[in-house]
Structure 1
Amino acid sequence: MCRFFCEHFHFFARHSAVMRATVPVMAIAAALTAYYVYIPLPNTVSEPWKLMLLDATFRGVQDMCHLVQQLGLGHHLKALNFVITMFEMLAPQSSDIVEVTDTSFDGVQVRVFEPKKKVDGELKRSIIYIHGGGWALGSARMRSYDHLCRKMAKDMNAVLVSVEYRLVPEVHFPEQINDAYSATKYFLQPEILSQYSVDPSRIAVSGDSAGGNLAAAVTQQLVMDRSINIRLKLQALIYPVLQALDFNTPSYQQNTATPILYKQVMARFWLEYLNGDPSFVQAMLINNHTASNLSQLTSIRDRLNWTNLLPQSFIKNYKPVIQIMGSPQVIKELPALLDPRAAPLIADKEILQLLPRAYILTCEHDVLRDDGIMYAKRLEDAGIEVTLDHYEDGFHGAMIFALPPTNFDVGNKIMNNYINWLDKNL
């Protein structure tokens, strides 16, 4: 009996020591996890804790992908896109309602969603959709974009063309817009529209984030292309990125560190897209690349003057960041910063006057909020009818987070309202 108690006493003593050593380690791990996950967020943002967890996951994957690049195993964006799409890529799966086909338009891969509901002699509406992802991430074949386009095709009885343009780092500007434009121009041929039973007077181009940038650029390019007789009825831009000359608009200042798109990350996406020197990031973040001594910007400054283009409710107490003396090196090495194909916001008014009616969606908790609002104002000043749809509880990328486990109430709300607007106006 004595031996029994002695053995058990030593057993519990040993395990108690292990437990005493484990508790501090677990506490430290928990504290570090909480520190990594927790980000102060405005109380108006949709489901803040879910957003924190999503953002922490995304940041963790980004950190691992940067390590991959540091180890010489590949470009971090290529690694990141692999991780993002690994569990998201879907084969073209048709249903009783929608026929889904992967094909190519003028050498550009597209996924086409055709509703099976047919009425004799009735032509369908159509939307050309361009996905987001900083010109480097995402795919028309991802579950989230497949869901969006499938839902649009079903709810609107419309033909959806989702463009699979090439990405950074394989290609840089202007190849992404060249792909989007080539696919769009091919689709607008009368014989192709006839093949898909599409009404040539009821076609829209749309996209989110970087896809919104490409959609805006494609729309501008189309009105200048005299070889195309068919004109778009609508353009629909979802939290679009439209300029890289002012990284200190009120929304950039307000949402510098707001998930899921941080100010510095957006600057890096721009440099990757334009194939610029990564060391330019800091100069761009403080607007050193657009200092008042740089004469190249004289003719377009009014097109970026948010003190005139934004309502006071968005300006709040923020002040413009204008450097007196700057270096011309960034603009000199990256002339695309002044190219409307890259920055549709700075297009000439004469071009804006030719554009179709626009729907522009913005989110309060998004560095790109003011890009969309300024573009809406410039379009209105050019005589174009614009619907500006703003979400006080929204954040960048919210619309594609509409499926479990990353579904957000605001994402579903945005998606449904966006589709409803298209349904009523296209």
Structure 2
Amino acid sequence: MLPLIASGLFLAAICLLVLGVNLWVLLDHFLKIDVPPSIPQRTRFRILHYAFHLTVTWGNILEKLRICSMPKFFQFLQDAMAIKRNYKVVVTDLYFEEVPVRLFQPKATSSSPRRGIIFLHGGGGMFGSLDSYHTLCCFLARETDSVLLAVGYRKLPEHPHPVGLQDCLCASIHFLKSLKTYGVDPSRVVICGESIGGSAAASILQILLGRLDLPKIRAQVLIYPILQAINFQLPSHLQNQNVPFLTRDLMITCILNYFSIDPSWKDVILTGSYIPQDTWMKYRKWLGSDNIPQRFGNKIQQPEFPGPFNKSAYPELKDFLDIKISPLVADNEVIAQLPEALLVSIHWDVLRDDILLYKKRLEDQGVPVTWYHVEDGFHGCLLLFDKKIFSFPCCWNIINAVVSFTKEI
């Protein structure tokens, strides 16, 4: 009898825990989350974010119970729900220098070499995989008639920075050396990155500028990328800090984990208090809020930036000033050598102003820029383009812009 009672109490406790977590996530969503006014299908948007928030919350619970890390739990569910559609594309899984990659080649024959695309997915260094981006890559390869290489770089929790960037760089170099093997025209290679993948793409372009033994990358496609980890007081960071799916809290959590930084430095990072004044004077002309067009200006009072200098923080956080982490602050001579770009920004995104600042830097140095700004989108929307009831107009608008730009290369 006692074992039955104990089992019943345990089951009741589990049910209460599940109910409590679900109710807490629901309450947190309605109290803290801002749904952009221009987002269509607002109820679907809320349901989608609730499911995302719930998954992350359960992942955190499992991590504290030492059952499974949050990123692993999220990746498992994401891959389990991924639907692999094949748009008449030959798909091949390979390893480039021990880095898993997936090659997408249109089945239709071609009388001449095709363009090539190096695709680096997003996910904050924690989420995303070759499987979850499979259908998107298939679609891009077919619609642009390109050979597309997707890089399955290693992620958290086992692999913090710079492992992911090194994997992307290694796979990109291998692909560039093997273009003829895959029927790719060396003069028509595009590097495309989404979110943190956009950061890696921008960094790789700068790293490879001096490589005379490799074909030059013809164009860059950066989709709502993170391009600097220095000024987190830009208007978009303040305006959109509670907008899904990349809230300011989630962004800083990803940054702390990705760079293996103690959470106690969070406020110092947000206020920029680790930045010496003379260093900020150098970067202000590129990263200051006064570089943001007036129509994107913040109605909230701009805080003083950087905050009072914290000498002890500088050794811990100075790597944020490195151009491999913040490619936006590379010297003019480097920026001027970069290829033409398609930059995709989302109005309701904490990273919006990174793109606006990068756009200005490129244009100031004479680099051609095609800017596609989305008023009714949200960070991460690209991945939902084929998710039927959870696909939004912005998803198709962005992918069509990418296809249109790429086909012109």
Q: What is the TM-score with the length of structure 1 in the denominator?
A: 0.85
Among candidates 185, 188, 211, match of residue 202 of structure 1: 188
Three-state SS of the structure 2 residue aligned to 1:166 is coil
Deviation at 1:116, TM superposition (A): 1.6
Paired with 1:247 and 1:81, the residues of 2 have a C-alpha distance of 28
Paired with 1:126 and 1:294, the residues of 2 have a C-alpha distance of 43
Q: Does 1:128 align with 2:118?
A: yes
Three-state SS of the structure 2 residue aligned to 1:394 is coil
C-alpha contact 1:37 1:53 (8 A) present in aligned 2: no
Deviation at 1:33, TM superposition (A): 7.6
Among candidates 40, 49, 63, match of residue 43 of structure 2: 49
Q: Does 1:233 align with 2:223?
A: no
Paired with 2:141 and 2:34, the residues of 1 have a C-alpha distance of 39
Paired with 1:110 and 1:57, the residues of 2 have a C-alpha distance of 29
Q: Does 1:315 align with 2:312?
A: no
Among candidates 282, 291, 314, match of residue 299 of structure 1: 282
Map of 1:215 onto structure 2: 201
Distance 1:135 1:324, change over 3 A: closer
Q: Does 1:188 align with 2:176?
A: yes
C-alpha contact 1:44 1:393 (8 A) present in aligned 2: yes
Paired with 2:297 and 2:66, the residues of 1 have a C-alpha distance of 44
Map of 1:169 onto structure 2: 157
Distance 1:117 1:64, change over 3 A: same
Paired with 2:330 and 2:256, the residues of 1 have a C-alpha distance of 20
Matched letter for residue 101 of structure 1: T
Deviation at 1:107, TM superposition (A): 2.0
Distance 1:94 1:411, change over 3 A: closer
- Which stretches in structure 1 are left out of the alignment for 5+ residues? 1-27
Q: Does 1:98 align with 2:80?
A: no
Question: Equivalences for 1:43-122 in 2 at 5 Å?
Answer: 43-88=37-82, 90=84, 97-120=88-111, 122=112
Deviation at 1:83, TM superposition (A): 2.7
Give the aligned CA root-mean-square deviation in angstroms.
Answer: 2.2
Map of 2:395 onto structure 1: 411
Map of 1:420 onto structure 2: 404
Map of 2:127 onto structure 1: 137
Deviation at 1:29, TM superposition (A): 11
Matched letter for residue 328 of structure 1: K
- Which stretches in structure 2 are left out of the alignment for 5+ residues? 1-19
User: Deviations 1:51-70 (Å, cap 9, x if unpaired)?
Assistant: 11111111111111111122
C-alpha contact 2:26 2:50 (8 A) present in aligned 1: no
Distance 1:289 1:83, change over 3 A: farther
Map of 1:4 onto structure 2: none
Paired with 2:400 and 2:337, the residues of 1 have a C-alpha distance of 29
Deviation at 1:297, TM superposition (A): 3.7
Map of 2:320 onto structure 1: 337
Paired with 1:30 and 1:277, the residues of 2 have a C-alpha distance of 29
Q: Does 1:397 align with 2:380?
A: yes
C-alpha contact 1:128 1:160 (8 A) present in aligned 2: yes
Deviation at 1:138, TM superposition (A): 0.6
Paired with 2:349 and 2:362, the residues of 1 have a C-alpha distance of 21
Matched letter for residue 110 of structure 1: V
Matched letter for residue 77 of structure 1: P
Which has the higher mean CA deviation after the structures are superposed, 241-250 or 71-80?
Answer: 71-80
C-alpha contact 2:217 2:339 (8 A) present in aligned 1: yes
Q: Identity percentage over the alignment?
A: 32
Q: Which has the larger radius of gyration?
A: 1
Q: Does 1:146 align with 2:131?
A: no
Three-state SS of the structure 2 residue aligned to 1:289 is coil
Paired with 1:54 and 1:406, the residues of 2 have a C-alpha distance of 7
Three-state SS of the structure 2 residue aligned to 1:365 is coil
Q: What is the TM-score with the length of structure 2 in the denominator?
A: 0.89
Paired with 2:253 and 2:350, the residues of 1 have a C-alpha distance of 14
Distance 1:178 1:316, change over 3 A: same
Among candidates 273, 276, 279, match of residue 288 of structure 1: 273
Map of 2:15 onto structure 1: none
Question: Equivalences for 1:360-399 in 2 at 5 Å?
Answer: 360-399=343-382
